[in-house]
Amino acid sequence: MKTLISVIGTTGIGKTKLAINIAKHFGTEIISCDSRQFFKEMKIGTATPSKEELDQVPHHFIGNLSVKDYYSIGQFEKDAAEKLAELFQKQEVLVLVGGSMMYEKAVIEGLNDLPEADDENQKKLQQIWDENGIGELQEILEKLDPEYYKTVDKDNPRRLLRAIDIIWQTGKTYTENISSKIKKRDFQVIRIGIEAPREIIYERINRRVDQMISDGLVKEAEELIPFKNLVPLQTVGYTELFKYFDGEWDLDFAIEEIKKNSRRFAKRQLTWYRKEKNINWVNFENSLQESLSLLRSLKLET
C-alpha cells in the first residue's frame, strides 16, 4: 500500500526541516497542509520555507494562491487528493507537513459531506463581526459547540463563520457534523509528531518572531494594508501590525502581542494533538534519527 508520512507539531518546532530530510531520504515530494503558506504575499509572517529549502525537495501548495483568492478547506481537500493520486503513480511514499490541524485531517481522513456556505448566514455573521468584533462570534460558537470551541483557532474568523453557519444550517454541532463516517483513504498514513517541553516551544516561538521582524515582516505587512480586511490576513503576525499602522499600538507592543498570540496558537495545537490517538512522537533534538528508526521498525525502508 502507498504511504503518506504526515509530519506534525506546534508552530516553530522544526516540521519543515524534518519533512525535507525525510523526503530526501525517500527521494520523494512534499504536500504542504499549512493553510497560511498557500498565500504568496505572506512569506515572512507564515515562515514559508526558504528558496534554498524549496529547492531541496519538490513542494506542493506553497505560495500557490493570492490573498485575494477565496479558498476553502473543501477545495483544498479535493486539490490535495488529486495531487496525491497523481504523485502516488510514481512514488511509493509521500510526505505531508503543516500545523493546520483541520487541513491535515482533511488530507488524511477526508471531510464530511458538509453543506456549502449559506449566503444569508454569511451576511448575518459578517454584520455581527463588523459591528461587534470577533469576540461576539467567539461567544456564539462557544455557546453552540463548546467542544469544538476548545480547539478552534479562535482568532481566525473564517473558522468561526464556517462552523456557526454549518451549525445553523444542520441543527447539529460542528463536532457532530465532522465526526460522521467518511470514505476510507486508499493509502496508509504514518503520523510523526515532534515534541518538546512547553518552555522550549515558547522560547522557539519568541526567537522565530524576532527573526521574522529582522527579515522584514513589518514591511511585508505594510504592503498588505490594502487587503487587511481579507480573510487570509485575519491572522497572527498581521492583525497585530495593522493595529500598529493604525496607531492603536506601538511597535514593541505589537511584536509582544504576536509572540503571545503565537504561543496561544501553539497551546491550541497541543490540546488538539493530545486528543489524537495515532501520533508517533519523536524528540525535537533527535527528530530525524528517531523518525527513520520508527519507519524502519514499520518496515518502511528504501
Q: Tell me which CATH code domain 3-111+185-297 carries.
A: 3.40.50.300
Q: Where are the domains of the chain?
A: 3-111+185-297, 119-178
Which residue type is seen at 234? Answer: Q
Tell me if 177 sits within 8 A of 126, measured CB to CB. no
Annotated ligand binding at 14? The verdict is yes
pTM, two decimals, is 0.83
- Give the dihedral of Cα atoms 290, 293, 294, 299; nearest 10 deg: 160
Q: Are strands 188-195 and 59-60 parallel, antiparallel or unpaired?
A: unpaired
Question: Integer distance in angstroms from the first to the last C-alpha of the chain?
Answer: 14
CA atoms within 13 A on the CB side of 177: 20
Per residue in 66-109, pLDDT (tens digit) is: 999 988 888 999 999 999 999 999 999 999 999 999 899 999 99
Annotated ligand binding at 170? The verdict is no
Q: How far apart are CA 165 and CA 159, in angstroms?
A: 10
CATH of 119-178 given 3.40.50.80, 3.90.320.10, 3.40.50.720, 1.10.20.140: 1.10.20.140
Q: How far apart are CA 193 and CA 30, in angstroms?
A: 16
Annotated ligand binding at 16? The verdict is yes
Annotated ligand binding at 48? The verdict is no
The percent of residues above 90 in pLDDT, for the chain, comes to 80
Per residue in 225-242, pLDDT (tens digit) is: 999 988 899 999 999 999
